[in-house]
Chains A and B, each alone.
Chain A
Amino acid sequence: MPDDLERRVMSVIAATQHIPADTVTIDSTFEELKIDSLDGINILFAVENEFDISIPDESAQTIRTVRQMTEGIRKLIDERGGEAGVPVSV
């Protein structure tokens, strides 16, 4: 079962891509979800807002899967002290 963070990330991706939530799994690749480079930066924008974090450009460039994105976000939240944050905008 996906944990809370994973569920939130998948939910943001589905909403940003305008696709049904059940099409996004933790093992989905961006390619499978038809996420191109422009969609990718839009998702980064959305998750930065969702978790109130800042994702550096160079680590962003290496993300190819939902799992990689979730682990990257988890690391940034842990570095900040474990608070998952609240959305800074809607």
Chain B
Amino acid sequence: MGMRRVVITGVGVISALGCKRQSFWEALIAGRPGIHPIQGVDRSLIRFQYGAEVRNYDPLLHFDEREASLLDRFAQFGVVAAREAIADSGIEFTPELKERTAIVTGSCAGGQATEDEGFVNLYKNSVPRVNPFTIPRIMANGAASRISLEQGITGPTYTVATACSSSNHAIGQAFWMIRNGLVDAAVTGGSEAIFSLGFLKAWEAMRVVSPDTCRPFSKDRRGLILGEGGAMLILETLELARGRGAKIYAEVAGFGMSSDAYHITQPSAEGAARAIRLAMSDGGISPEQIGYINAHGTATPANDSTETQAIRKSLGSQAEHVAVSSTKSMHGHALGAAGAIEAVATVLAMHCGVLPPTANYTIPDPACDLDIIPNIARPCEVECALSNSFAFGGLNAVLAFRKLS
């Protein structure tokens, strides 16, 4: 049996750019950020003031009261995105396919907001009992398990937690399982909801959050903007997709991962470059075929210059020609959901022939001298694209996509 090809036939996303795929894409190509003063937490208690929150989200539009009580906000985002992706793909989970479908999700913090709330009651308000739904709500696999339950999917189902690389690792695992014949389809992506006081205070102490907005690759960048949301993709074999006449966004062509073994929080260009090279070689792609990179692009001083070096090291002279943007400038850094949200942005860009810009860009930085698509979307057909995720802990995960002719 030759190597099976894996394609994306459905995508769903809920983010600061809206609760649907359509609003997400419209905001991305308009270069319109979803960054606003934080609403979910009392801002007088934190130093930074801006975040990329999912606004106007009503759980009861998606879940009945009992379901909602069992699902932390992060898990709800994963389920909402999965439902949209499944509907978009038109895939029908027959009894046979249910056993041959995987669910692999990513989350960095799981249900930490539930934990925060429960422990405030215990420690501060002296409430002696903790809600019995706390454990099912905080488990990082909350979204994966709920998707399995409601879709009746019984194949390999699990969750990956590798900080900001979580959902790229998840998508990579799902891709390889299909390619290697372990399963025929997958629901994969990630979700995150991190706007609780305890978690934001922890980020405040890291001193990497911008006081205003997110300006990736710009000389005056001042740090990241935290975001939240969920994104899921439906992966299946090319054979299955063609057989049922499905719309195909793009092929998942390759996946590469590496560990820096360098520093717990400082990035390494060599580690990131190695993951990029591995993703290209895994997909049989040469640097000249890469037309677009959705960068990790957090807008911290350290990431963006290091990522620029990594792209130069791995793509060589093609780095002069490749278009690069950080859509975190619009949907914020959704941590364990970031890779999934950015994978959706990347495949929509390939499908629609328009590359989303790096928003909020003001001043060129010689240390980030790539073509970063400043502020205005660019019509451009690309053959192949990469989506980078580089996590605290030095863990790198890069996905490579190819457009099907």
- A1 contacts across to B, CB distance below 8 A: none
- A60 contacts across to B, CB distance below 8 A: 207
Q: Is B205 part of the binding interface, using a Cβ–Cβ cutoff of 8 Å?
A: yes
Chain A binding surface SS class: helix
- B223 contacts across to A, CB distance below 8 A: 57
Chain B binding surface SS class: loop
Q: How far is the CA of A57 from the CA of B265 in the complex (A)?
A: 17
CB within 8 Å for A41 and B205 given contacts A57-B47, A57-B211:
yes
Q: How far is the CA of A61 from the CA of B209 in the complex (A)?
A: 13
Q: Is B39 part of the binding interface, using a Cβ–Cβ cutoff of 8 Å?
A: no
Interface size on B, residues (CB 8 A): 13
Indicate with 1 or 0, residue by residue over B193-231, a CB within 8 angstroms of chain A CB atoms: 000000000000111010100000000001100000000
Q: Which residue of B lies closest to A57 (CB)?
A: B207
8 tightest Cβ-Cβ pairs between the two chains A and B: A57-B207, A38-B265, A41-B207, A45-B205, A60-B207, A37-B266, A41-B206, A38-B264
B interface with A by C-beta (< 8 Å): 47, 205-207, 209, 211, 222-223, 263-266, 302
Docked complex: A50-79 residues within 8 A CB-CB of B: 54, 56-58, 60-61
For the complex formed, measure the closest distance between the CB of B131 and the CB atoms of chain A, giving whole angstroms: 28
19 more A-B residue pairs beyond the given contacts A36-B263, A37-B265, A44-B207, with a C-beta to C-beta distance below 8 A: A36-B266, A37-B266, A37-B302, A38-B264, A38-B266, A41-B206, A41-B207, A45-B205, A54-B47, A56-B47, A57-B47, A57-B207, A57-B209, A57-B211, A57-B223, A58-B211, A58-B222, A60-B207, A61-B207
Q: How far is the CA of A60 from the CA of B208 in the complex (A)?
A: 11
Q: How far is the CA of A44 from the CA of B265 in the complex (A)?
A: 17
- B265 contacts across to A, CB distance below 8 A: 37-38
